[in-house]
Amino acid sequence: MKIIMLGAPGAGKGTQAKMIAERYQIPHISTGDIFRANIKNGTQLGMEAKKYMDQGLLVPDELTVKILLDRVAQEDCKNGYVLDGFPRTIPQAEVLDKALAELGEAIDYAINVDVPDENIVRRMSGRRACLSCGATYHVEHIPPKQEGVCDNCGQALVLRDDDKPETVQNRLKVYHEQTQPLIDFYTAKGVLKTVDGTVDMKDVFEAIVSILK
């Protein structure tokens, strides 16, 4: 079962992707996690990706596609996977489709988690991240036990540059221009399913499970 998660940044598709991966025992593949790991380790790819992410811009296709295709070729993806954060553009989707077709495979579901922009700005500006261990929190929904301190490792939590309101607005603008056309792309292929992302995350997940059945 090969699944693509769609939705604006902050729509909650990453959380849903993890829950799907756990339920169906398939890998959750997040380009964001891969980029952040490279940034943390100070690799050349990571530093290049960071320049774009800090401005709320998308990482260029050539950086992203290479990582993704190598990842889905690994053994743990033989029974499927959940892609989170890729594809972001029609050219990426076409590259992915072509690569899968050469393997005799195709995407089974593209799940769109639909949330209005104003909800997203409010959600993302409340996010806090631990740059040491990678744990994430939200000041309203998943607060740490001690304000500003990571529960796992005791390091300070930060509001990442890409979660600041002005950057989120820019990311949403980029999303609507470049990523939203994917909804039409996957609708035409007959694999798009949309769920309401404004309800409780457990209800969103149940809606997705009913689709995957």
pLDDT tens by residue, 12-59: 898 999 999 999 999 999 887 777 877 888 888 888 888 888 888 878
pLDDT tens, position by position, 70-90: 778 879 988 999 999 889 889
Strands of the sheet containing 109-114, edge to edge, are 28-30, 81-84, 2-6, 109-114, 192-196
Q: What is the pTM of this model?
A: 0.74
Does residue 36 carry a catalytic annotation? Answer: no
Q: Which of 2, 36, 50, 171 is catalytic?
A: 171
> 2, 36, 50, 127: which one is catalytic?
127
Cα-to-chain-centroid distance, residue 182? 14
Q: What is the mean pLDDT of the chain?
A: 90
**Residue 125 reports pLDDT greater than 80:** yes
Q: Residue 203: pLDDT above 90?
A: yes
Pairing state of beta strands 109-114 and 2-6? parallel
Residue-range domain boundaries for the chain: 2-116+164-212
Tell me, yes or no, if 88 is annotated catalytic. Answer: yes
Amino acid at 174: V
Specify whether 2 is catalytic.
no
Active-site residue identified among 36, 88, 123, 128: 88
CATH number assigned to the domain with residue range 2-116+164-212, chosen from the 4 options 3.30.43.10, 3.40.50.300, 1.10.1050.10, 3.30.470.30: 3.40.50.300
Q: Is 13 annotated in the active site? A: yes
For residue 171, indicate whether it is catalytic: yes
